[in-house]
Amino acid sequence: MKSNSKATQCVHSGSIVDPITKGAVTPIYTSTAYDYIDVDIHAYPRYFNTPNQRVVSEKLAALENGERAIIFGSGMAAISTVLFALLRQGDHAIFQNDLYGGTHHAITKEMEKYGIEYTLVDGIEVSSYEKAIKPNTRLLYIETPSNPLLKIIDIRAMANLAKTNNMVSVIDNTFASPINQNPIDLGIDVVVHSGTKYLGGHSDICCGIAVSSNDLGQQIWESAIHFGGSLNAQMCYLLERSLKTLALRVNQQNSNAQTISEFLASHSKVNKVYYPGLINHEGHELAKSQMSGFGGMLSFEVKTDPDKFVKTLRMIKPAMSLGGIESTITSPPQTSHSKISAEERAKVGISDYLLRLSVGIEDVNDLINDLDQALNHEQ
Ligand SMILES: Cc1ncc(COP(=O)(O)O)c(C=O)c1O
């Protein structure tokens, strides 16, 4: 029975019943050598079509309301494969400037080598993206909520801009997760994720996902088998297992992040809080119109020494990744945005006092107590 409920899709979409025992969970098919006689498909791990790859693809296609999902060995494998599958020499692509640093580097270091032109657009105004369109523009790429200031871009307007100008639209949906935001429903063509974050959710899997229509999926797949960034059966199984609790985890993270952002917004040692669930966040109304939850990511500026603050935390762990069940904190000026000059950072609103919190599923009172003791600690 098919369900449109994300919680049910997390548990039931795309699993294989063990033909020998009829056990409750998908068996792990580790083979890299499959029969080619009298079979429907020629299975091979780098073709993204072995049993564990197929079941987890089916679950993710259902969760993102797409037709086809391809699972990769990392988020960057998914992103680079999508870009180089859909762009040709002589094409032009438009990217939001405010992207995950690794994607930004991939664009600036790789595109020109292959004769692909690009424009990085500042800000979130649709008109700025429209101005960047050239006769050879084929692709528009965005990320919302953005990192680290949680800016919200109008997904419907961007998808529409792409459609009316013959571009493929691509969105990185990592920060929101498919529980909070389904961009394909809003008109986006391709959704990519770093599955290393919320989809894996336990800080122990590195993977990536691209979800789209069957037609675009076929195009992406035809390049993907050449680039070879597939994920092995054991990791696919672990991802499938993690996805069963995605809705539970993300809903708890949404709720914890809302409570924590309200606590921080009223704290005397905090300057500013960036969280789309706060009514004074500039993208709050837009977020309400395109997200079903505001997510587990928030940023805030402390009035105290940010390094000492982080070192004083007892439960919240300093870590560069995000989306895990444990709460983690990072300093964007020292990590993701360290290669950008202090002046540039200041121009886009990233102060040296800014910290980015990935809220976990712990008891929210414990998290608040930890933040409070570190904020009030003698500096
Ligand atoms: C928003 C976003 N997109 C893509 C990536 C790249 O994913 P991966 O590290 O799995 O290659 C990351 C990694 O931090 C990310 O935060």
Domains of the chain as residue ranges with CATH: 6-243 (3.40.640.10), 246-376 (3.90.1150.10)
Asked if residue 378 has pLDDT above 80, the reply is no
Nearest-atom index, ligand 1, CA of 320: 14
Tokens of 352: 């040296």
What backbone phi and psi angles, to 5 degrees, belong to 211?
-120, 140
pLDDT at 145: 97
Higher pLDDT pick, 335 / 272: 272
Instruction: Give residue 192's pLDDT band: very low, low, confident or very high (50, 70, 90).
Output: very high
Helix (H, G, I), strand (E, B) or coil at 252: helix
Q: In this structure, how many other beta carbons lie within 10 angstroms of the beta carbon of residue 265? A: 16
DSSP 230: B
Rounded Cα distance between 362 and 41, Å, is 44
Residue labelled with tokens 């762009």: 87
Residues noted as catalytic:
46, 100, 172, 197
Q: How far apart are the first and last CA of the chain?
A: 58
Closest Cα partner for 128 from 94, 172, 164?
A: 94
Residue carrying the six token digits 């409750």: 24
Percent of the chain topping pLDDT 90: 90
Mean pLDDT over all residues of the chain? 96
Q: CA dist 151 to 3, 20, 275, 315, Å?
A: 32, 50, 9, 27
Mean pLDDT of 220-248: 98
At 283, phi and psi to the nearest 5? -105, 15
Q: How confident is the model at residue 2 (pLDDT cuts 50, 70, 90)?
A: confident
Query: Which atom of ligand 1 has the smallest separation from the CA of 206?
Result: 10
Collapse the DSSP code of 68 into the 3-class scheme (helix H, G, I; strand E, B; otherwise coil) and give the result.
Answer: strand
Q: Residue 264 in contact with residue 122, Cβ under 8 Å?
A: no
SS3 137: strand
Pocket residue to mutate for ligand 1, from 104, 147, 197, most atoms within 8 A of Cβ: 197
Mean pLDDT of 248-264: 98
- Three-state secondary-structure class, residue 105: helix
Cα 177 to Cα 170: distance, rounded to the nearest angstrom = 15
Distance 75 CA to ligand 1 centre (A): 5
> pLDDT tens-digit profile of 138-191?
999 999 999 999 999 999 999 999 999 999 999 999 999 999 999 999 999 999
Across the range 64-68, mean pLDDT stands at 98
State the distance from the centre of ligand 1 to the C-alpha of 206, rounded, in angstroms.
9
Percent of the chain with pLDDT over 70: 100
pLDDT of residue 339: 75
Average pLDDT over residues 113-125: 96
Average pLDDT over residues 265-292: 98
Strand partners, 68: 212
pLDDT bracket for residue 326 (50, 70, 90): very high
Q: Which residues have any ligand 1 atom within 6 Å of their CB?
A: 74-76, 100, 102-103, 147, 172, 174-175, 194, 196, 206, 208
Separation between Cα atoms, residue 196 and residue 73, nearest integer Å:
9
299 Cβ contact partners less than 8 Å away, ≥ 6 residues apart: 148, 149, 150, 273, 274, 275, 332, 354, 355, 356, 357
pLDDT at 17 (0 to 100): 86
User: Which residue bears the tokens 């996902």?
Assistant: 209
Q: Check whether 355 has a pLDDT greater than 80.
A: yes
Which residue is listed with tokens 């020292």?
334
Dist. CA 215 → ligand 1 center (Å): 25
Rounded to the nearest angstrom, the gap between the alpha carbon of residue 307 and the centroid of all alpha carbons in its chain is: 27
- In degrees and rounded to multiples of 5, residue 121 shows phi and psi of -105, 130
Find, among 367, 356, 284, 288, the residue nearest to 325 by Cα. 367
Give the count of beta carbons closer than 10 Å to the beta carbon of residue 344: 11
Section 108-116 average pLDDT: 96
* pLDDT score recorded for residue 140: 98
**DSSP labels for 13-31?**
SS----TTT--SSPPP---
Cα angle, residue 126 at apex, residues 124 and 132 outer, rounded to 5°: 100
Q: Which residue CA neighbors atom 13 of ligand 1 most closely?
A: 194
Q: What is the pLDDT of residue 379?
A: 65
Distance 216 CA to ligand 1 centre (A): 22
User: Distance between CA atoms of 199 and 246, rounded to whole angstroms?
Assistant: 7
